[in-house]
């Protein structure tokens, strides 16, 4: 397969330019119009059957190459409301409209630009080596992963009915460990995530007359502190859960007690019983703190995100990992503990009732990573996804991502 892998060198310069262009022009969830148009243009140039507007802004490319298995390859392409601080020459200065209508900065702070570039590179390799495999590749470029809505939107728009039904679903994500390496988890690998917007209702008034008011700021403060006891006091020590209050909003002026306060809570879990237990505890505590404050009205709860647990099929994962090890080397492919991050890619495999295999590939400068690990400063010196400083080193990240995705696809397609 030497000639096929040598193709990476031929397309490398073009893909680097694409990656830098995508990084400089990020778009928020369900607003990825420029990105989708560029993906569709490139899929068409590769000769795939292209369908745009699937699930809003999603793009699907179908590559048919005779009889054989159907393999779904997935890349997500939305960005985040983060102000980039990498200082890179291709750093984003883009702005967009957030879900609340606010003007926000936009950045590819999670690496989805790298995911798109790697999948397009893999499709180039696959289209140029049709004599080596047979079957069908369904390339899914998914919107709105960051809000946990894109996979469901594509499925609701008939993904499995309009396009060849897959026998396996494959995907990958760039993470802040040494570039050139790949990590995998078998079984439950990424947590469920539930986001809740909670509105606490008080009774506003003048700051000098608290006795005439029900202060929602104090109510919110008490609630935030009490929520910290859910994991520490209610979840069994051997179970895993996280409760984070990521946003608190209330008031406009120092001498005005407002009418309401808003908090946004994020809940992570790996099993349905723990998930249910934590969500119920959050609701109970919020209502109790409102009652303790003398609120005239019950709090309002609005769901924001709903990610299922991502489960890598053990047998399919073993098969895929064996292929990755054969191509990349045993020392570059390692098992890693489950991650508390969340992903909606598993919905495709669940809906199709086929295995899902989702792995991570490194994006951190290997030398910087080694120095930080030796110094015990990984958390400080190696920036994680969603950080304003997060940006994978282009190489060997790009080549590894293309190689991993192509290798995994070939493992599941029929060989010549």
Burial class (CB in 10 A: 0-12, 13-18, 19+), 176: buried
Q: Which of 38, 76, 78, 146 is catalytic?
A: 78
289 belongs to the catalytic site: no
Beta strands in 368-408 (DSSP E): none
Tokens, residue 123 = 């499709």
In DSSP terms, 199 is beta-bridged to 262, 300
Burial class (CB in 10 A: 0-12, 13-18, 19+), 351: middle
Does 396 sit behind a cis peptide bond, omega within 30 degrees of 0 on the bond before it? yes
| 142 closest CA partner among 75, 81, 79, 43 | 75
Is residue 311 a contact partner of residue 335, using CB atoms and an 8 Å limit?
no
The DSSP output letter for 204 is -
Q: Give the sign of the dihedral formed by CA 403, CA 408, CA 409, CA 413.
A: positive
Sheet holding 192-201, edge to edge: 241-250, 260-269, 192-201, 300-307
Is residue 211 a contact partner of residue 252, using CB atoms and an 8 Å limit?
no
Say what the alpha-carbon torsion angle 335, 177, 175, 8 is, to the nearest 10 degrees.
Answer: -90
At residue 335, φ and ψ (nearest 5 deg) are: -80, 145
234 belongs to the catalytic site: no
Q: Which of 145, 146, 167, 344 is catalytic?
A: 145
How far is the C-alpha of 259 from the C-alpha of 354, rounded, in Å? 50
* CA distances (Å), origin 206, targets 80, 211, 229: 38, 10, 32
Q: What's the angle, vertex CA 310, arms to CA 357 and CA 412, rounded to 5? A: 10
How far is the C-alpha of 370 from the C-alpha of 384, rounded, in Å? 15
Which uninterrupted H or E stretch holds 177? Answer: strand 168-178
Tokens, residue 251 = 């008031």
List, by residue number, the catalytic residues.
78, 145
């Amino acid at each position: 397969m030497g000639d096929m892998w040598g193709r990476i060198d031929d397309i490398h310069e073009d893909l680097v330019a694409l990656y830098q262009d995508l990084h400089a022009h990020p778009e928020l969830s369900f607003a990825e119009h420029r990105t989708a148009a560029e993906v569709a243009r490139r899929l068409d140039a590769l000769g795939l059957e292209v369908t745009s507007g699937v699930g809003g802004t999603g793009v699907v490319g179908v590559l048919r190459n005779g009889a054989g298995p159907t393999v779904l390859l997935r890349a997500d392409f939305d960005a985040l409301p983060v102000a980039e601080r990498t200082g890179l020459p291709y750093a984003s200065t883009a702005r967009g409209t957030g879900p609340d209508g606010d003007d926000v900065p936009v950045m590819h702070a999670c690496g989805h630009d790298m995911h798109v570039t790697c999948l397009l590179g893999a499709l180039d390799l696959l289209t140029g080596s049709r004599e080596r495999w047979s079957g069908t590749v369904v390339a899914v470029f998914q919107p709105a992963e960051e809000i946990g809505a894109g996979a469901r939107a594509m499925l609701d728009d008939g993904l499995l009915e309009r396009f060849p039904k897959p026998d396996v679903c494959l995907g990958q994500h760039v993470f802040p460990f040494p570039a050139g390496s790949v990590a995998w988890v078998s079984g439950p690998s990424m947590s469920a995530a539930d986001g809740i917007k909670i509105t606490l209702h008080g009774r506003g008034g003048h700051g000098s007359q608290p006795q005439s008011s029900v202060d929602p700021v104090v109510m919110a403060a008490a609630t935030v502190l009490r929520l910290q006891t859910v994991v520490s006091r209610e979840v069994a020590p051997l179970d895993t859960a996280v409760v984070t209050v990521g946003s608190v909003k209330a008031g406009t002026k120092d001498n005005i007690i407002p009418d309401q306060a808003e908090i946004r809570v994020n809940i992570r879990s790996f099993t349905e019983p723990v998930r249910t237990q934590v969500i119920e505890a959050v609701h109970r505590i919020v209502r109790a703190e409102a009652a303790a404050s003398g609120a005239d009205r019950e709090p309002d709860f609005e769901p924001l995100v709903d990610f299922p647990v991502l489960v890598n099929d053990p047998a399919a994962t073993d098969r895929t990992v064996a292929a990755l090890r054969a191509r990349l080397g045993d020392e570059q492919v390692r098992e890693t503990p489950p991650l508390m991050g969340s992903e909606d890619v598993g919905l495709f495999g669940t809906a199709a009732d086929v295995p899902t295999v989702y792995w991570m590939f490194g994006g951190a400068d290997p030398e910087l990573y080694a120095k930080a690990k030796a110094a015990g400063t990984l958390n400080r010196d190696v920036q994680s996804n969603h950080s304003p400083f997060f940006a994978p080193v282009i190489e060997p990240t790009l080549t590894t991502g293309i190689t991993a995705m192509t290798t995994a696809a070939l493992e599941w397609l029929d060989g010549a």
